[in-house]
């Protein structure tokens, strides 16, 4: 188990650090504007927001190589943006346009970006955990040293697919990094009510013979440091790592969640440890950014997300003939009358 420390020497350069802050701000703005668009009924279906958890995605994905892979669950906007997806493509997907990152076929829960090595956006809890092992299997099969990082929530800890896969990933020493974003909530069920132990490193790490590391998910640089270590292990052929990132979901499970299951106090307390606020303070402390630059950064992000929304709103609706496209590589023959 690692202790977080703001006194440790920085593991990143100033440029990288400011870049990370910028990404976190971008994600936060993207999510908050999505909430607005959802309420305006421009975004449909289920919409799960990542606000409050930004440091987990940005800190871990931030240390990956370009040829590594990222795969995540349905709360996927943050990971896609952290991996460098253009927010225009993400927003267009939210609005169901064919200019979207999944051509309007996936929606909020199913973001994909092959160019960035972003393998989705998977909405059945735990279902993508074997896929991550498969991606890692392919790297190993080919004798390559790229890795796959896989994110999921604490709810997925209870799925069979996770336990089957962890066993095989460890057995075959696959270069995969599993990150559970423990926001204490399996949808609306608190961790202590859905897991026999609240220490997930035991269930996910110890049980399968892989290192289980607990990290403060609000500490972006610690998140980065731990992930980097896991990458080194994986690239060296030493197998998978399990990281439990303690974090907090500022918003409900989805847009229709009134959050009756947790107290106002708990939420208020969590917001005091807002990862963005923490990192802004740290960077100011280090003298890497000043108030003016910070304000400019916020302003730039606002403009960027407004442009993304404008792009998405102006993008054409998918045409009916796109309906049958991309069902299969071979020509899809609809089994209709």
Partner 1 sequence: MAMSTYREALRQAMDEEMERDDAVFLMGEEVAEYNGAYKVSQGLLDKYGPRRIIDSPISEEGFAGIGIGAAMVGLRPIIEFMTYSFSLVAFDQLVNNAANVRYMSGGQFTVPIVFRGNSGIAGALGATHSHRPEALYAHIPGLTVMMPATPADAKGMLKAAIRSDDPVIFIEHENLLGEKGEVPDDVDYLVPIGKADVKRTGSDVTIITYSRSLVTSLQAAEQLAAEGIECEVIDLRTIRPLDLDTILESVVKTHRAVIVEENWPYCGVGAGVADRIYHKVFDELDAPIKRVTSLDVPVPYAKSLERLVIPSVEKVVAQVKDVCYRS
Sheet (strand 176-182) strand order = 118-121, 69-72, 148-153, 176-182, 241-246, 212-216
Tell whether residue 86 is a contact of partner 1 (CB under 8 A). Answer: no
Q: How far apart are CA 294 and CA 310, in angstroms?
A: 24
What is the pattern of x (binds partner 1, CB under 8 A) and - over residues 300-329? -------------------------xxxxx
CB of 292 to partner 1, least distance (A): 41
CA distances from residue 130 to 43, 138, 164 in whole angstroms, order as listed: 30, 12, 8
Tokens 């420390």 map to which residue? Answer: 5
Question: Closer CB to partner 1, residue 163 or residue 298?
Answer: 163
For every residue of 250-282, DSSP letters joined together read: SS-SSTT---TTS-HHHHHHHHHT-HHHHHHHH
Cα angle value 164/182/203 (rounded, 5°)? 35
Question: Which CB, 29 or 97, lies closer to partner 1?
Answer: 97
Stretch that binds partner 1, among 109-117, 202-210, 212-220, 260-268 (CB under 8 A): 109-117
CA 114/CA 57 separation, integer angstroms:
18
The residues in 170-189 that bind partner 1, with binding defined as CB under 8 A, are 171
Q: Which is nearer to partner 1, 1 or 333 (CB)?
A: 333
Binding track, positions 36-75, relative to partner 1; x by CB under 8 A: ---------------------------------x-x----
Per-residue x/- track, 150-169, partner 1 (CB under 8 A): ----------xx--xx-xx-
Q: Using CB under 8 A as the criterion, which residues of the chain lie in contact with partner 1 when the complex forms?
A: 69, 71, 98, 100-106, 110, 112-114, 119-122, 124, 127-139, 141, 148, 160-161, 164-165, 167-168, 171, 325-330, 332-335, 337
């Amino acid at each position: 188990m690692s202790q977080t420390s703001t006194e440790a020497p920085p593991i990143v350069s100033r440029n990288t650090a400011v870049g990370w802050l910028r990404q976190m701000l971008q994600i936060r703005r993207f999510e908050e504007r999505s909430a607005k668009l959802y309420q305006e009924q421009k975004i449909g279906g289920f919409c799960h927001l990542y606000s409050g958890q930004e440091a987990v995605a940005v800190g871990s994905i931030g240390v990956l190589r370009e040829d590594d892979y990222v795969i995540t669950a349905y709360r996927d906007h943050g990971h896609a943006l952290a991996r460098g997806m253009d927010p225009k493509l993400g927003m267009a997907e939210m609005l169901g346009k064919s200019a979207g990152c999944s051509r309007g076929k996936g929606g909020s829960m199913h973001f994909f970006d092959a160019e960035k090595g972003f393998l989705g956006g998977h909405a059945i809890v735990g279902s993508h955990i074997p896929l991550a092992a498969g991606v890692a299997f392919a790297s190993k099969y080919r004798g390559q040293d790229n890795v796959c990082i896989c994110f999921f929530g604490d709810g997925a800890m209870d799925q069979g697919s996770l336990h089957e896969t962890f066993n095989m990933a460890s057995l075959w020493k696959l270069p995969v990094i599993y990150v559970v974003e423990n926001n204490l909530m399996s949808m609306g069920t608190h961790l202590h009510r859905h897991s026999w132990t609240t220490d997930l490193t035991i269930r996910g790490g110890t049980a399968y013979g892989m290192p289980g590391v607990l990290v403060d998910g609000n500490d972006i640089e610690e998140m980065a440091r731990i992930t980097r270590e896991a990458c080194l292990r994986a690239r060296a052929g030493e197998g998978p790592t399990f990281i439990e990132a303690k974090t907090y979901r500022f918003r409900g499970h989805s847009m229709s969640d009134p959050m009756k299951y947790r107290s106002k106090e708990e939420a208020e307390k969590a917001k005091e440890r807002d990862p963005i606020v923490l990192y802004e303070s740290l960077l100011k402390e280090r003298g890497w950014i000043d108030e003016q630059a910070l304000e400019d950064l916020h302003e730039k992000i606002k403009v960027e997300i407004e442009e993304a929304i404008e792009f998405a709103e102006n993008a054409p609706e998918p045409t009916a003939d796109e309906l049958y496209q991309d069902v299969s590589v071979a020509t899809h023959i609809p089994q209709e009358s």
